Amino acid sequence: MQRAEPYLKTMKDTGRILGRSVKKAAGICAQNAETMLKETLSRAAGANPDDPAGDFGDPAGCGRKNYAVVTGASSGIGMEFARRLSLEGYPLILIARRRDRLEALRRELGTECLLLPADLARREDLIRLCEDLVGRRIEVFINNAGFGVSGPFLTTEVGREIGMVDVNVTAQHVLFKYILHRMEAEGGGTILNVASSAGLFPAGPYMSGYYATKAYMASLTRGVAEELRQAGSPVYVGCLCPGPVNTEFNDVADVSFALPGISAEECVDYALRMMARRQTVIIPGREIRAAVIGQRLLPTALTVRIAAAQQKKKMEEAAAANAEAGEQT
């Protein structure tokens, strides 16, 4: 009990604020979100896809009328998907928190783009985003936004973890369901949920919450994909589960990786090839594919212990590197 007292004191000091925030979020979700999403779906079903309420025009004279939507488009895997889809002639809808980065990407691409800055940890932004997509026919949806938190569960910041769950689970789930409804009504489309190879392992000590959020999306995608297969749906749904990728994710989560990372370009190139084959679970990188297959042959408890040892080593290496960088400045 004595060890818990400092934590309990902190929670007591912030409890009122946290309680009001949770109550407000619950109110938005229970009273408004369901109604607003239903209304948005209804308007989307009645919209004329050949007369979208947007500012796109005909990119490069290609005559394409359908759009590609990318969340988390301001860096890493999302940015690379935007580049590749732009080259394929899609007008783009780019979503991320940082408008300045989206503006820079639009200038780089030279593609007709609609920028929709949004913080997907906020339910208000999530609902507004669904409304903003009404009337624009979507052919490709890259459900990519997400981030990680590392450290012992007893010491990681609860507010940051809840934000991670809001983005990695709630926002991805809501947007997946919303876009799937749209595509079913419009006769087809492609959805890629970006999870992680972490979601294919039984657990990840010292990144426990992150592994859990990615397991949620991997499981959800596989289940829905089978439902759609049995229903003969024209919509393709896949789940991208990369291992280490050399992006800003590593800095945000404050980790390094035991396996060598692949580039975002390699990751997206492999993903697009597997999407063309309508593969449900996509794992780029031979090493991580071997690791995912190999861990199935081991007892679960042993796999979790190995994951714990690797993650602990990564945190120690990251801490040492940060300390060395601090000494040099």
Residue 329: predicted pLDDT = 44
Residue 46: predicted pLDDT = 53
Chain position carrying tokens 């004191």: 9
Q: Name the β-bridge partners of 68.
A: 92, 140
CA 266 to chain centre: 18
Q: Is residue 179 part of a domain?
A: yes
Range(s) of the domain holding residue 231: 60-328
pLDDT profile of the chain (329 residues), mean per 10 = 51 46 41 54 51 39 73 95 95 96 94 94 94 94 95 92 95 97 95 94 88 96 98 97 74 49 92 96 91 86 84 74 54
pLDDT digits (tens, 9 = 90+) for 78-89: 999 999 999 999
CA 221 to chain centre: 12
Which stretch of DSSP H or E encloses residue 68? strand 67-71
pLDDT digits (tens, 9 = 90+) for 94-145: 999 999 999 999 999 988 999 999 999 999 999 999 999 998 999 999 999 9
- Buried b / exposed e along 95-114 (16+ C-beta atoms within 10 A): bbbeeebbeebbeebebbbb
- Total count of domains within the chain: 1
Which tokens in the block code for residue 45? 């079903």
Cα angle: 72, vertex 78, 81; to 5 degrees: 145
Q: Is residue 223 part of a domain?
A: yes
Q: Is residue 36 part of a domain?
A: no
Query: Tell me, what CATH number does 196's domain have?
Result: 3.40.50.720
Q: Is residue 282 part of a domain?
A: yes
Residues tagged active-site: 210
Q: Is residue 5 part of a domain?
A: no
Q: Is residue 29 part of a domain?
A: no
Q: Is residue 146 part of a domain?
A: yes
Q: Is residue 43 part of a domain?
A: no
